[in-house]
Chain A
Amino acid sequence: MTTTSGRRTATADHHVPIEIPAHRSGNVAGNVAGEVPGEVPGEVPGEVPGRVLGETDPGRHHAVDVRGLTKRYGRRTVVSALDLTVPAGVVAGFVGPNGAGKTTTLRMLLGLVRPSGGHGTVLGQPLHAPAAYLPRVGALIESPALYPALSGARNLAALAALGGQNPARVDGILDEVGLTGRGGDRVRSYSLGMKQRLAIGAALLADPDLLILDEPTNGLDPSGIRQMRELIRALAAAPSSAPTESSAPAGSSAPAGSSAPAGSSAPAGSGGPRRTRTVLVSSHLLSEVEQICDWLIVVEGGRLAYQGPTDGLMANHSHDVVLRPEHDEDVALLEDLLAGLSVPAVRANHEVVASLSARPADSREHTRLLAGINRAAAARGVTLIEMSPRRLSLEDRYQNLVARARADAATDRESR
């Protein structure tokens, strides 16, 4: 994984790189989309709700690629036919409201919970054979689960022994997660932030190709959240190194036709093969996800609401345009004028949000509509000092997706 000019290059395998747009840096102000204010959003160009966007070619190796993942407890379906794809090398955010099925999904990927249905692969190995891929996966699920009576270093040493990793890595790991000097102290004396970092350290013991972090910022203060964010960024930027004893499990083999594991990249440096690390972070803190993730998966009620590049969700597909007159008293006049043009509009404090019938993608029609409004305003003596696309925050988009997913689920229930 490299960082070049604000774009991360994620490699699904070392032959075919996938370009993952950086955090919204590519968003073009001025894009217009057509969501009517207050309405549950409609379709977005290039986005198939609940489906993978075009950047993930079918058949390509992904860090996670599962289909129809389902978990039922009795008559209650917690995760419903989830199709999940995480390209190798991305930092993927896994978001959804409480009870959306995030943790259950992650537990299924990690072999802790047995799926009721579904199939697929994790790091190129079958989902139903977690022993084949878990040696290359590091995970922190929910709260850090450590032995409070043991020191941080002893906790890591025990887990290293269990996973077949070199215990000499422990000191380096403690250093990597910022616990140098505290490794000898009992875990019960650690703050929550330190426990979280130690648990991430435990996840790093295997030098994983896939790092799964479930709510890593839970319970942390703002400073701790910031430190965690920086740690995750650093972990994502650092490729994993040569396979250890455990990362090439006996009896496991790469899929036919592929000698390289998912996430492999060309050798770099003198330390043997370097592999791309994929990070999957579950969180309900959208601001965190927005800042660190370049791939986004949104679930609601156990169903997939969106997955694709964060940029794809953040791209301004809105039909809405903000029109601001020079004088506040012209706002009412502008609103009337738009009504006369049959353009739906909502009046705000000092501006009017107009919903055009064309999106920025339809540039000719979009330009024609804007020009028409501008001319009509000028003819009525209203000078527009701003005509800009209405920007939606990730939270707006997320809320819309969740609302739509809920509406779809309700429709499904009614149809049954």
Chain B
Amino acid sequence: MNLVRAVRRSYRAELIKLWRPSTAVAMAMLALLSVLSTVLVIGLAEADGPTAATAGRPAGFDVTTGQVSTAGGMALGFTGGSAFTGLLIFLVFAITITLEYSQGTLRTLFLREPRRLGWLTGRMALLGVLVAVALSAALVLSVAVGLAVASIRGIDTSAWWSADGVGHLASGYLNALVAAAFFGVAGTVLGLVLRSTALTLAVGVAWTFPIEHIIQESWGASNRVLPGLVFNAIGQGGVSDARYGTALLVGTAYAVGAALLGAIALSRRDVTA
């Protein structure tokens, strides 16, 4: 009961802290990244028609206009940007948690709410809600921009509004949300463990981009194993060598393991900042 109360209070307190312009800017950036992804995916789609070989290809920048015109075309731009939005969310979560250490505000918070895990849960819940709202806005903008770009390119979008199309959009949104949540957990936990903004960003960005992608070039299974690539696969609804179910399972395992590590780090370690 006390823990629930701590979560509730933490949620309210974080809402007061985050109710400011910079939060709106971060959310707008996330939406703009989705829009950019949509513009790139649909605007740069190859002009050949859908074939049996390409119809099942994953969303990305190697998309054809035939794929765009299918029922799942509406979600292609949105899900194609999940790597960007994931990275942004990773950065935002990592920076906000490490700033609590560097500014010393963590000790101020824990003096008011000593139930540290309750505080963290409430904070993550609010951040999750904000990400969900930002992704919703991103989805709406992405669809609007997608329609405009498709219209300019003369791509037929009538299949987008079928029940199948709406279903693709809904599943695309949920996948992006799950991937974003996992990236957020990873950023938070890395921040809790390293307690330094610079170090967290250096390690996180270096691992997620150059290192994972270098490994990906030489190891076929990396999409099913390496966390950044797995989260990305979830966001895209699965990729060629990492089926959605596998990616979701591995990603969930990573997220749960990371959450446990973060919980131990936060609750056991001294607050000396």
Q: Is chain B a partner of chain A in the same complex?
A: yes
Contact check, B113 vs A130: say whether CB atoms are below 8 A apart: no
Closest chain B residue to A115, Cβ basis? B270
Partner of A162, one of B9, B22, B271: B9
Please, which residues of chain B bring their CB within 8 A of the CB of A134?
111-112, 114
Is the pair A131, B13 in contact by a Cβ cutoff of 8 Å? no
Known: A147-B103, A147-B105, A251-B2. A159 touches B270 (CB 8 A): no
Q: Please determine whether B271 and A163 come into contact, CB atoms closer than 8 angstroms.
A: no
Most buried by B among A112, A139, A148, A163: A112
* Chain B residues touching A, majority SS: helix
**In the complex, chain B residues whose CB is within 8 Å of the CB of A162:** 9-10, 12-13, 109, 112-113, 119
A203, closest chain B residue (CB)? B111
Known: A149-B20, A149-B22, A162-B13. A112 touches B110 (CB 8 A): yes
Cβ-closest chain B residue relative to A163: B112
CB-contact partner of B270 in A114, A148, A164, A251, under 8 A: A114
Q: How far is the CA of A139 from the CA of B108 in the complex (A)?
A: 8
Tell me whether A146 and B270 are in contact (CB under 8 A): no
B158 at the interface (CB under 8 A from A): no
* A interface footprint on B232-261 (CB within 8 Å = 1, 0 otherwise): 000000000000000000000000000000
What CA separation (Å) do A202 and B270 show in the bound complex?
A: 22
- Of the candidates B22, B106, B112, B271, the one whose C-beta lies within 8 Å of that of A159 is B112
Q: Is A157 a contact partner of B114 (Cβ separation < 8 A)? A: no
A145 touches B2 (CB 8 A): no
Residues of B within 8 A of A256 (CB): none
Whether B114 pairs with A111 at a CB distance below 8 angstroms is yes
Please measure, in the bound complex, the distance between the C-alpha atom of A113 and the C-alpha atom of B114, giving whole angstroms.
12
- A182 at interface by CB-CB < 8 Å: no
Of B12, B106, B108, B112, which is in contact with the most chain A CB atoms at under 10 Å from its CB?
B112
Query: In the complex, what's the smallest C-beta–C-beta distance from B192 to chain A, in angstroms?
Result: 15
Contact A143 B9 (CB under 8 A): no
**A 241-297 contacts with B by CB, 8 A:** 249-251
Q: How far is the CA of A159 from the CA of B17 in the complex (A)?
A: 9
- Chain B residues whose C-beta falls within 8 Å of the C-beta of A154 in the assembled complex: 16-17
Indicate if A365 sits at the interface (CB-CB under 8 A): no
Does A33 touch B at the CB level, under 8 Å?
no
A234 at interface, CB cutoff 8 A: no
Judging by beta carbons under 8 Å apart, are B9 and A250 in contact?
no
* Alpha-carbon separation in the docked complex, A137 to B107 (Å): 14
A95 to B217, CA, bound (A): 61
Interchain CB contact under 8 A, A150 and B5: no
List which A90-148 residues lie within 8 A (CB) of chain B: 107, 110-114, 130-131, 134, 137-139, 141-143, 145-148
B53 located at the interface, meaning its Cβ lies under 8 Å from any Cβ of chain A in the complex: no
Complex partner residue of A145 from B10, B108, B270, CB under 8 angstroms: B108
Residues from chain B with a CB closer than 8 A to the CB of A205 are 112
Cβ–Cβ < 8 Å partners of B22 in chain A: 149
> In the assembled complex, how far is the CB of residue B150 from the closest CB belonging to chain A, in whole angstroms?
40
- Nearest CB to that of B17 among chain A residues? A158
CB distance from A203 to the nearest CB of B (A): 8
**A137 near B2: Cβ-Cβ < 8 Å:** no
Taking a contact as CB atoms under 8 Å apart, the answer to whether B16 and A161 are in contact is: yes
Task: Mark each residue of chain B from 84 to 125: 1 if its CB lies under 8 Å from any CB of chain A, else 0.
Answer: 000000000000000000011111111111110001000000
Let me know if B110 and A111 touch, CB within 8 A: yes
Closest chain A residue, CB of each to CB of B111: A139
Which A residues lie within 8 Å of B271 (CB)? 107, 112-113
Residue of chain B at shortest CB distance from A199? B108
Residues of chain A within 8 A (CB-CB) of B105 are 145-147
CB-defined contacts of A111 to chain B, threshold 8 Å: 110, 114
Q: Is the CB of B17 within 8 A of A113?
A: no
**Distance (whole angstroms) from the CB of B94 to the closest CB of chain A:** 18
Nearest-CB distance from A79 to chain B (Å)?
A: 13
CB-based contact A150/B111 at 8 Å: no
Name the distance in Å between A317's Cβ and chain B's nearest Cβ.
39
Cross-interface CB contact of A131 among B15, B16, B114, cutoff 8 Å: B114
How far is the CB of B37 from the nearest CB of chain A, in Å?
A: 29
Kindly provide the distance from the CB of B201 to the nearest chain A CB, expressed in whole angstroms: 19
With known contacts A114-B270, A158-B16, A250-B5, A148–B111 Cβ distance under 8 A:
no
A249 with B108: in contact, given A113-B271, A161-B13, A162-B10 (CB under 8 Å)?
A: no
Chain A residues closer than 8 Å to B114, beta-carbon distance? 111, 130-131, 134
B109-A150 in contact (CB<8A): no
State the Cβ distance, A407 to closest chain B Cβ, in Å. 30
Nearest B residue to A252, CB-CB: B2
Given contacts A130-B114, A163-B113, contact A148 B9 (CB under 8 A): no
Q: Does B1 contact A (CB under 8 A)?
A: yes
Contact between A145 and B107, CB atoms less than 8 A apart: yes
Query: Does the CB pair A157–B112 fall under 8 Å?
Result: no
Say how far A210's CB is from chain B's closest CB, in angstroms.
12
User: Are A202 and B108 closer than 8 Å at their CB atoms?
Assistant: yes
Residues of B within 8 A of A249 (CB): 2
Minimum CB–CB distance from B178 to chain A (whole Å) comes to: 29
CB-defined contacts of B1 to chain A, threshold 8 Å: 250-251
Q: Is B272 an interface residue (CB 8 A)?
A: yes
Cα A148 to Cα B105 in complex, Å, equals 10
Q: Are B20 and A113 in contact (CB under 8 A)?
A: no
Q: Which of A110, A147, A199, A251 has the most C-beta atoms of chain B within 10 angstroms of its own C-beta?
A: A147
**Which residues on the A side are within 8 Å of B9 (C-beta)?**
161-164
Q: 5 extra interchain contacts, Cβ-Cβ under 8 A, other than A112-B272, A134-B112? A: A112-B111, A134-B114, A146-B103, A249-B2, A250-B5
- A-side residues, CB < 8 A to B, are 107, 110-114, 130-131, 134, 137-139, 141-143, 145-150, 154, 157-159, 161-164, 199, 202-203, 205-206, 249-251
Residue contacts A-B, CB under 8 angstroms, 28 given: A107-B271, A107-B272, A111-B114, A112-B107, A112-B270, A130-B114, A131-B115, A134-B112, A137-B111, A139-B111, A145-B108, A146-B103, A147-B105, A149-B20, A158-B13, A159-B13, A159-B108, A159-B112, A161-B13, A162-B9, A162-B10, A162-B12, A163-B113, A164-B5, A202-B108, A205-B112, A206-B112, A249-B2
Chain B contact residues, CB within 8 Å of chain A: 1-2, 5, 9-10, 12-17, 20, 22, 103-115, 119, 268, 270-272
The 6 closest A-B pairs by CB, nearest first: A145-B104, A162-B13, A163-B112, A161-B13, A161-B12, A158-B16
